[in-house]
Amino acid sequence: MKRLDALGFLAGTLTTIAFLPQVIHAYRTRKTDDISMAMLVIFGSGVGVWLIYGLLIRSQPIIVANSTTLFLVLIILGIKLRGYKHPL
Amino acid sequence: MKRLDALGFLAGTLTTIAFLPQVIHAYRTRKTDDISMAMLVIFGSGVGVWLIYGLLIRSQPIIVANSTTLFLVLIILGIKLRGYKHPL
């Protein structure tokens, strides 16, 4: 593996695993009020486009990182959407 | 500008502006309890490494997006750290 790829994988690993403590936090507390819904939706969309970009420039770090990040962001979004049912 | 660069800029714009509603949300409510501190620290570090990666592969979208994202994440972290002073 090239050194550059290794750096990209380090970056991707950090920005990806970062959402794990957030998933755990949201799952445990069931509280996501302070997390902006607009942030989750726009960020998730952006990560999806990064994934397409990574596929087109064939950058493995970008592909792996963004597909995993998208998965974790969707879990957080799911927990937040479940929370939205409570006031009904 | 190449089409690929345009796609990268779209992705970068989305994942970057996504943090703006979060900054506004945190600033208005002064509540950041539901945002994981570990997430902010690990994510901020990762964005910093993405920035270095972008500089090395000379990808303008990665450079612009990650420098701006880092700035916004630091603002959210700052608001959260100020919130931590309250219980003292």
A36-60, pLDDT tens digit by residue? 999 999 999 999 999 999 999 998 8
Residue B87 has pLDDT above 80, yes or no: no
* Topology of domain B3-83, CATH: Monooxygenase (1.20.1280)
A31 CB within 8 Å of a chain B CB:
yes
Which residues of chain B lie closer than 8 angstroms to A47, CB-CB? 11, 15
Select from B44, B22, B62 the least CA-distant residue to A80. B22
Q: Can you give the pLDDT at residue A51?
A: 95
The tens digit of pLDDT for each residue in B52-86 reads 999 999 988 789 889 999 999 999 999 999 876 55
Q: What is the pLDDT of residue A1?
A: 64
Q: What is the pLDDT of residue B84?
A: 61
pLDDT at position A2, please? Answer: 82
**CB–CB contact A14 B53 (8 Å):** no
**B45 vs A8, A14, A46: nearest CB:** A14
Q: Say how far apart CA B16 and CA B64 lie, in whole Å.
A: 9
Q: Please judge whether A56 and B13 are an interchain contact, meaning their C-beta atoms are less than 8 angstroms apart.
A: no
Ranges of each domain in chain A: 3-85
What are the chain B neighbours of A70 within 8 Å (beta carbons)? none
Q: Which residues in chain A come in under a pLDDT of 50?
A: 87-88
Among B16, B32, B50, beta carbon nearest to A34:
B32
CATH architecture of A3-85: Up-down Bundle (1.20)
| Rounded Cα–Cα distance for residues A19 and B78 (Å) | 19
What stretch of H or E contains A78?
helix A60-85
> Using one digit for the tens of pLDDT, what is the confidence trace for B9-29?
899 899 899 999 999 999 999
Q: Tokens in use for A40? A: 């989750």
Which of A42, A79, A4 shows the shortest CA–CA distance to B69?
Answer: A42
